[in-house]
Amino acid sequence: MTPAPIQPPITLGQFLPLSIARMIWKRRYLILCGSVVLTAIAGFFIKQMPNVYRADAVIIVDSQKIPEKFVSSTVQASLSDSMSAISQQVLNSVKLEEVIREFDLYPVERKTKAIEEVVAQFRKDLPITLERSFGGGKPSAFRITYEGTNAQLVVNVVNRVADMFVHENRKTRESRAEGTSDFMSARMAESQKSLDRQESNLSQFKMRWAGELPQQEPALLGALNRLEVELQGNREAITRAQQSKILLESTLRFAESSLAAALRSAEPPPVFQAAQSRTQNSEAISAPVQLRSDLLRGRLATLRRRYQDDHIEVRRLRNEIEEVVAEEQEAAKVAAATVKPKTNASASQPVLSATVSPQLIAEINRERERIANTKTQLELIEREFEAKGAERQRIMREIADYQHRVEVLPIREQQMAGLTRDYENTKMEYRSLLDKKMSAVMAADMERQGQSERFTIADAARLPEGHVKPKRTVMVLGAALGSLLLCSLIGLGLELRKNAFLGEWELPPQVRVIGRISYLDQRTMQVLSKTLLTVALLVQTQRWSS
């Protein structure tokens, strides 16, 4: 029996590519058959996998319909900010749970998991991505995507979520616009109260210090000038009255001297003196004498040198002169009629005409009339003195009052400046708030009517024509490659376990190959020996039979 050849051990250094190829070639049938079987099994399971469909909708930001110069929107938020705010409202647990129950999503998971886990899974399966604009600027649209095994169901889910985004965006914008309008209304109400309070303070200040306000300074200075002129006229009138009084007092003394001389010339008896005394105590004759008319004419000449003929004092004095002249003429007639001697009712009084000449009696009567008229004029002058003095006191008081008002004008001006400044600031604030409130109201109306910037579904979800998962061709190719690799590894493992010498390339370079003998294992040698023995027996038998 031929001994088995010595098999050199294979080391790491001998694990060469030709050795690997030799091992694969030796196990080629096993590798091919195993790869085909595994690929078929994998293909069967891949074919049984359900189709997954994808639907998506694109929502763009539709610009405002009304130009900004006419109505400015009070909601100023970028797409990313709006997305952050609206996503929190649309993708909250309550609304997503409503969508899940509405479309009966995740039926298996709802039986085995909590609803919070199912909602989290749905939120994860519903990605929302921002779309870049064509110019590469800020995002102006976003995409909602959902995948599922039912094509119509995924379309309905995506469209439902897109509608929720559009509705929530409009609701949010309306709420923000109305909130801005309400805020401006509240601020305007507060500003109006402050404005009313400032107006009330300013009005009370003007009513309290009426006549001392800065804007009344020209009127105050004009009144002071008028009072100065009036005071000057009063002083001149007092001066003229003093001169007239001195003249009348001189006239009175002269008339009394003339009367005393006439009485001494007449030398009337005691009875006549008593009658004369009674006559002097009778009521004074009110008719003016010639001296008063002359005095009035002198005053008129003085006034004409200072004033025009249409001045009120000139006209009054001229009228008074006319009245005095008329009274003078009447007095002359009366004097001519009363030159008769006056007798008393009693028998003891003598007749004056019997002892005194008529000329003397007329002279005595004239002198008495002059005295009476002069005293009357003195009384008028005294009254005029009192009136002018009272008028002077009044003028002085008014001048002092107006001077005090002018002196306190800087204080009132400073006080009023503070009130006016506060009032004007509050008024400007109120007007500004009123304009802003009107803009906010128009912006809110624009939001309610859908004329402002809003979300619009540019591309609604449509029924997909094909599935996106699984990629069966790719998966089958991958399964085939994996099966081939796996079977190759199995074949290599089996050959490595045998630890067989594969070829001369595994020998060291210094070893010289003399010949090649095919490798036969012990069992093959036994079969080959039996075969050769049988053949030899057959040949020997043939020889013997011949």
Q: How far from the centroid of its chain's Cα atoms is residue 167's Cα?
A: 29
Confidence of residue 266 (pLDDT cuts 50, 70, 90): low
Q: Are 498 and 84 in contact (CB under 8 A)?
A: no
310 within domain boundaries: yes
The answer on pLDDT for 352 being more than 60 is: no
Q: Are 355 and 272 in contact (CB under 8 A)?
A: yes
Most confident of 91-105, 125-139, 296-310, 451-465: 91-105
Output the pLDDT for position 349.
Answer: 35
- Write down the pTM of the prediction: 0.50
Residues paired with residue 143 on neighbouring β-strands, in sequence order: 58, 129
**Domain stop point among 407, 428, 457:** 407
Q: In which residue are the tokens 């001494």 written?
A: 264
56 phi/psi in degrees, rounded to 5: -145, 155
227 within domain boundaries: yes
Higher-confidence residue of 8 and 164: namely 164
Output the pLDDT for position 507.
Answer: 62
User: Domain of 267?
Assistant: 216-407
Output the pLDDT for position 134.
Answer: 56
201 within domain boundaries: no
How do residues 533-543 score in pLDDT, each as one tens digit? Answer: 787 788 778 77
Residues 392 and 533 in one domain: no
**Domain stop point among 353, 372, 407:** 407
Confidence of residue 61 (pLDDT cuts 50, 70, 90): confident
Output the pLDDT for position 337.
Answer: 57
Output the pLDDT for position 267.
Answer: 55
Q: List, edge to edge, every strand of the sheet that includes 53-62.
A: 128-131, 141-148, 53-62, 454-459
The answer on pLDDT for 272 being more than 60 is: no
How far, in Å, CA of 407 to CA of 391, rounded? 24
- Count other Cβ atoms within 10 Å, centred on residue 164: 19
The answer on pLDDT for 283 being more than 60 is: no
How far, in Å, CA of 50 to CA of 147, rounded? 12
The number of folded domains in the chain is 2
Residues 530 and 401 in one domain: no
Residues paired with residue 197 on neighbouring β-strands, in sequence order: none
For residue 218, whether the previous peptide bond is cis, meaning omega lies within 30 degrees of 0, is: no
Q: Are 59 and 165 in contact (CB under 8 A)?
A: yes
164 phi/psi in degrees, rounded to 5: -65, -40
Q: Are 122 and 180 in contact (CB under 8 A)?
A: no
- Count other Cβ atoms within 10 Å, centred on residue 515: 4
How far, in Å, CA of 464 to CA of 73, rounded? 39
Confidence of residue 219 (pLDDT cuts 50, 70, 90): confident
**Domain stop point among 387, 407, 427:** 407
How far, in Å, CA of 388 to CA of 240, rounded? 11
Helical residues (DSSP H) of 408-545, grouped into ranges:
409-448, 472-498, 522-545
Output the pLDDT for position 406.
Answer: 85
Output the pLDDT for position 499.
Answer: 67
168 within domain boundaries: no
356 within domain boundaries: yes
The answer on pLDDT for 84 being more than 50 is: yes
How far, in Å, CA of 126 to CA of 336, rounded? 138
Residues 248 and 392 in one domain: yes
Output the pLDDT for position 331.
Answer: 64
Please name the residues in contact with 38: beta carbons below 8 A apart, sequence gap of 6 or more: 479, 482, 483, 486, 487
Output the pLDDT for position 382.
Answer: 85
Question: What is the pLDDT of the chain when averaged over all its residues?
Answer: 75
Which of 76, 261, 80 lies closest to 176 in space, CA to CA?
A: 76
Q: What average pLDDT does range 231-259 have in this prediction?
A: 83
Output the pLDDT for position 137.
Answer: 53
